[in-house]
């Protein structure tokens, strides 16, 4: 598109938007702040701050200037950012006639318009039921052996020809394989590999400007989504045939469950909803877990005391396993990994995998004395309550003990939100816990390691990752060996 035409479109659009803006009486008492440049808003500066892992500073600069409720424009839409516990409760706890989980255009088009985060009513209940069945402890218990064996196999395969594990890429590969095989029942390794490549491209487009222009991240993401769909449709048709012929049942995997729901509710569920929620759950189930696992390795490498404590806890469990006929981990073993999970919880407090997220205003509303017009976005941010002195004692200090059951200070609702909150909170938090704990158990009991780049820092891409991929040099460990 010629530059002068693009400029003309922006100017005309800005003029029309300004006229509409002035006509709406709800715009008379908006929060303070700036909508930035036409169409682009403040998206560039927000994404640049995220890339440098300075998202909290970006938010705090505006909070200091405008207060805990301020306006901006992000991802192509006017946005009200609200920080604090009461703000989290308002955004995450509001009814669907006030706020809905309408994501920015980039996320809703990559994930699909029927993704679970944006569904409401009967459709939401049916899809959530199909998905959450496989995320409950009763289902997870039956999958632990498969997850255990898959993780062990991936570690052994990765270290068979080299002593360097590129942690970030390995954890993404691991969590994607677990999601594909355990959650969705996809066993074809070539198909899993091709899907993994396209999901990596699609995910980069989620936090980008919604400009479908040749070469831009969004353009690449949309094409990756098309390839994902092309590969998925034959899988769906084969599973539908298997369901009808009785070769599988609805409890076999999530895809089978979604297809079964569609077959029983043809009037409200269509194939597009199956595709969209496959894409959505695949993004949600593997990338956030890969982040947490990478950060766990990074933290253990940086703080020997944490590594030692985790190692001792896992070795006690390993000793019990060695005395059993079946040497795989069990549900009971995982429940004993209390300290390891507290470290994970504290990591998610200080470095939330999801910085924040959006809701869409479906009718004119207000918060803290300010008007928020229909059609605008609201944005919640985890960091502000996670680092609030009134909620967490010495919040900058890394202290896993604050998550002990008998902790000295209980955590109030909507203050600790790594998995969101309200009715649209993450349904996969228990699956993430199991996946994380099994992986860390295998790593610390099978290997010693050291950082290739000891001074590696965290950056957001847009999720928080070690900036150089966190390569580690590993050596096999005997189960009787102690940490040096």
Tell me the C-alpha distance between 429 and 354, whole Å: 13
> Of 361, 374, 359, 380, nearest to 69 (Cα)?
380
Tell me the C-alpha distance between 132 and 299, whole Å: 31
Residue 426 is labelled as binding a ligand: yes
> Of 402, 358, 395, 403, nearest to 377 (Cα)?
358
β-pairing, 377-381 with 77-82?
parallel
Q: CB-based burial of residue 41 (10 Å sphere; 0-12 exposed, 13-18 middle, 19+ buried)?
A: buried
For residues 138-160, one letter each, b for 16 or more C-beta atoms within 10 angstroms of the residue's C-beta and e for the rest, the string is eebeebbeebbebbeebbeebbe
Q: How many CB atoms lie within 10 A of CB 399?
A: 16
Tell me the C-alpha distance between 166 and 472, whole Å: 6
Q: How far is CA 382 from CA 89, 226, 352, 405, 473, in A?
A: 12, 32, 7, 22, 33
CA triplet 35, 36, 38: central angle to 5 degrees? 95
Tell me the C-alpha distance between 484 and 475, whole Å: 13
Q: How many CB atoms lie within 10 A of CB 28?
A: 8
> Of 316, 287, 313, 288, nearest to 300 (Cα)?
313
Torsion, Cα of 431, 435, 437, 441 (10° steps) = 160
For the chain, state the CA radius of gyration: 23
Tell me the C-alpha distance between 314 and 443, whole Å: 10
Beta bridge partners of 458: 466
Q: What would the two tokens of residue 408 be?
A: 């000295």
> Of 452, 438, 446, 454, nearest to 475 (Cα)?
446
Q: Which helix (H) or strand (E) holds 107?
A: helix 105-111
Tell me the C-alpha distance between 165 and 175, whole Å: 15
Tell me the C-alpha distance between 108 and 110, whole Å: 6
* Residues in binding site for heme: 426
* Residues in binding site: 426
């Amino acid at each position: 598109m010629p530059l002068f035409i693009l400029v003309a479109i922006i100017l005309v659009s800005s003029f029309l938007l300004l006229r509409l803006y002035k006509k709406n009486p709800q715009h008379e008492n908006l929060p303070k702040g700036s909508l930035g440049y036409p169409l682009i808003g403040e998206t560039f500066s927000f994404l640049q701050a995220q890339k440098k892992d300075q998202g909290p500073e970006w938010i705090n600069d505006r909070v200091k200037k405008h207060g805990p409720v301020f306006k901006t424009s992000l991802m192509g839409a006017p946005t009200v950012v609200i920080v604090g516990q009461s703000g989290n409760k308002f955004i995450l706890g509001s009814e669907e006639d006030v706020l809905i989980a309408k994501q920015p255009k980039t996320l809703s088009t990559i994930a699909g318009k029927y993704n679970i985060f944006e569904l409401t009513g009967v459709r939401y209940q049916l899809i959530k039921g199909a998905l959450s069945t496989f995320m409950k402890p009763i289902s997870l218990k039956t999958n632990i052996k498969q997850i255990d064996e898959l993780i062990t196999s991936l570690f052994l395969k990765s270290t068979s020809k080299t002593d360097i594990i590129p942690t970030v890429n390995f954890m993404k590969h691991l969590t994607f394989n677990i999601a594909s095989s355990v959650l969705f029942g996809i066993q074809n390794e070539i198909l899993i590999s091709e899907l993994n490549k396209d999901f990596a491209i699609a995910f980069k487009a989620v936090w980008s400007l919604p400009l479908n222009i040749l070469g831009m991240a969004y353009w690449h993401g949309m094409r990756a989504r098309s390839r994902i769909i092309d590969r998925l449709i034959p899988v769906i048709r084969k599973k539908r045939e298997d369901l009808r012929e009785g070769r599988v049942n609805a409890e076999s995997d999530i895809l089978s469950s979604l297809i079964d729901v569609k077959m029983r509710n043809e009037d409200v569920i269509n194939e597009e909803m199956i595709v969209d929620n496959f894409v959505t759950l695949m993004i949600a189930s593997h990338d956030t877990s890969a982040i947490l696992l990478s950060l766990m390795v990074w933290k253990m490498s940086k703080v020997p005391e944490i590594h030692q404590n985790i190692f001792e806890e896992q070795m006690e469990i390993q000793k019990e396993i060695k005395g059993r006929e079946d040497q795989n981990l069990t549900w009971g073993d995982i429940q004993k990994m209390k300290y390891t999970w507290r470290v994970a919880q504290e990591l998610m407090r200080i470095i939330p995998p999801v910085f924040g997220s959006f809701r869409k205003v479906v009718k004119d509303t207000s918060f803290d004395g300010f008007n928020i017009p229909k059609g605008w976005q609201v944005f919640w941010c985890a960091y502000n309550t996670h680092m609030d002195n009134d909620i967490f004692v010495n919040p900058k200090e890394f202290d896993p003990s604050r998550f002990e059951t008998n902790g000295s200070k209980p955590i109030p609702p909507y203050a600790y939100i790594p998995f969101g909150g309200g009715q649209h909170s993450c349904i996969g938090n228990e699956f993430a816990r199991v996946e994380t704990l099994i992986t860390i158990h295998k790593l610390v009991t099978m290997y010693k390691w050291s950082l290739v780049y000891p001074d590696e820092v965290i950056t957001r891409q847009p999720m928080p990752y070690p900036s150089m991929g966190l390569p580690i040099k590993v050596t096999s460990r005997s189960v009787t060996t102690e940490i040096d």
